[in-house]
Amino acid sequence: MQHSATMSSKGQIVIPKVIRDQLRISVSDTIVMTIQNNSIILKPSISTNEVFGIFKTKSPITKNNIKDIFRKSTLDKFSKR
């Protein structure tokens, strides 16, 4: 599949909708650009949510869970002194 785009006077190009849809690129997403063999390679950047989505938990972590974990670790730390 090959598409073309025209660069504006500001150096901007529009990625065709077909490509944006296929790569799931949306407004404000970051695109990584590299030059390879005299060509420009565009790839969607991995978002923080996608990176942290790799780590699965058995249940959602709540503020109370975090407070309990912090409290327990603090007690453990100071009880060892």
Is residue 50 in a domain? yes
Q: How many domains does the chain have?
A: 1
On whether residue 1 sits in a domain, the answer given is no
Could you report the per-residue pLDDT of 43-61, keeping only the tens digit for each? 888 766 666 666 666 777 7
Q: Give tens-digit pLDDT for 2-37.
A: 899 999 999 999 999 999 999 888 888 889 999 999
Structural domain harbouring 33: 17-79
Average pLDDT over every residue of 65-76: 85
**Is 8 a domain residue?**
no
Contact 32, 43 (CB under 8 A): yes
pLDDT of residue 50: 60
